[in-house]
Structure 1
Amino acid sequence: MTSTRLRGLAGLAVAAAVTLSGCGSVPALNGGVAARVAGESVTLEEVADTAAAYCSAVETQLQDGQTVANSVVSSQVAGSLALRAASEQFAADQGVTADAAYDQARDDLEANLSDLTDTQKEAVRAVNLARPYALAVQLAVGKQLGADDDAAAEAGADAFDDWLDDNDVRIDPRFGIALEGGEVTRTDTDISRPVSEKARAATSTDDQTFSAGLPSTQRCG
């Protein structure tokens, strides 16, 4: 499959899928937990299984010579699963459903998944629809708060920030990410700080020299 939308998934090969943000260290999670969102857990097994399926779905869309380190894919998956879990709980607490904008994003994606296996489809949905869902929930909350269309997204994002502050949301520091500002952001924690130039390059962007030099079991492409 060569659709524009599915090729877009391969953007992980060019840059890390999360933005850079400074943050203090986060306590490690135990018991096979990758993220904990207000009592709901995302397991390391869920992240590993989803990352493997996502990798297999997108690697045929990578341009010749492009590769993606598994660590980058795993961070993106962990962040997406945590963001979705937080957004679903936020929506339930606020008594809203996602704005109709989410339906359009979902339909657009579904139109390009026909060549994938069911497992691959589930993985792509989990990763690529997390942010549209979060934004659609925030928009619905903003509208419920009485903001006009232009201000609803910002009002909803502010409310989501407050919800995140009021709830226990933690992601294992091995993934180097956090939920901040209603988005998945990359952190620079004491625990996960790179100890080599190669590692530093790989955590700021998915450096092609670094990822291409990894064993095939540690990269996509």
Structure 2
Amino acid sequence: MTRTRLIALASASIFLLTGCGTVPGFNPGVAARVGDDTVTMNRVDDVTAAYCRAAEAQLQEGQVLPQHYLRGQVAGALALRVAVDQFAAEQGVSAADDYDQAVAQAREQLGSLPDDQVQALIDVQGVPIYVQAVEKSVGEQQGDSGNAATKAGEQAFLTWLDEQDIDLDPRFGVSIEKGVTAPADTSLSYGLSDTSTKANADQPDTDYAAALPDTQRCG
């Protein structure tokens, strides 16, 4: 089941995020902070560009998504990956083999795509699988097995997350809650035009999204 989730692009379930504008409290070029580690804006933009190209092949004719929706999903996924890497390092574990197997199968089945697009799909859609694989390893280290190991590791990760300082640039409209990324109302500015408000709604009108400049849309 987890391997299928990684292979599927699932563009229809892409997080619909809100938020834009000038954001205080972040050094230039920083998209997210997880403890002492950061995710750069350049990293978010590079992964988003490749992720968009991969998504375009799955979008129906005429379907368009505002680019900032994808940037939010990417920023959240990259920040969560940094967090779970820190958690794994503190626990002295690596991800269970399930993750490597899922990635290998994804690379095989997505082989027709350029490498950067395949990696972008793994970087974004593979993160929940990676989190679960680390949680499983933590649970097994504690002496559990099977589903019990995953549940024990999940609880340990949630407890650890509650003690961490994790900040994402509010313009992305995304947060990390209960071990997953989720849309968050962190907008610091509001679109005034009809095109802007409809393109940035919770369920964006693709006709209005299509009216955005090429650099602000995917599809």
Structure 1 length-normalised TM? 0.82
C-alpha displacement of 1:81: 0.7
Shift in alpha-carbon separation, 1:189–1:107, aligned structure 2, 3 A: same
For structure 2, list consecutive stretches of 5 or more residues without a partner in the other structure: none
3-state SS of 2:62 partner: coil
Partner residue in 1 for 2:148:
151
Tell me which of 52, 56, 59 is aligned to 1:55.
Answer: 52
Q: Partner of 1:61: helix, strand, or coil?
A: coil
Equivalent pairs, count: 211
Aligned equivalent of 1:23: none
Match of 2:99 in 1: 102
Instruction: Report the CA distance between 1:83 and its aligned residue.
Output: 1.0
| Displacement after TM superposition at 1:69 (Å) | 1.2
Partner deviation per Cα, 1:125-177 (whole Å, 9 max, x = no partner):
21121121111111221222233423322222221122112221111111011
Indicate how the Cα distance of structure 1 residues 83 and 193 shifts in structure 2: closer, same or farther if over 3 A, else same: farther
8 Å Cα contact 1:16-1:205 kept in structure 2: no
Indicate whether 1:216 and 2:185 are aligned.
no
Aligned to 1:176: 173
Q: Distance in 2 between matches of 1:64 and 1:6?
A: 24
2:68 paired residue number: 71
Decide whether aligned partners of structure 1 residues 45 and 161 sit closer, same or farther in structure 2, where only a CA change above 3 A counts: same
**Preserved contact between residue 7 and residue 61 of structure 1 (Cα < 8 Å):** no
Matches within 5 A, 1:15-164: 15-17=13-15, 28-164=25-161
Residue identity matched to 2:62: G
For 2:39 and 2:180, how far apart are their aligned partners in 1? 17
Question: In 1, Cα distance between the equivalents of 2:149 and 2:24?
Answer: 34
CA gap of 1:5–1:101, structure 2 versus 1, over 3 A, is: closer
Contact 2:73/2:124 (8 A) holds in 1:
yes
The alignment-based identity, stated in percent, is: 44
Cα gap change, 1:76 to 1:190, in 2 (>3 Å): closer
Deviation at 1:192, TM superposition (A): 6.0
The secondary structure found in structure 1 opposite 2:31 is strand
Alignment partner of 1:204: what SS? coil
1:7 and 1:105, CA in 2 relative to 1: closer, same or farther beyond 3 A?
A: closer
Q: Quick one: distance in 2 between partners of 1:207 and 1:7?
A: 27
TM-score by length of 2: 0.83
Which blocks of at least 5 consecutive residues in structure 1 are unaligned? 21-25
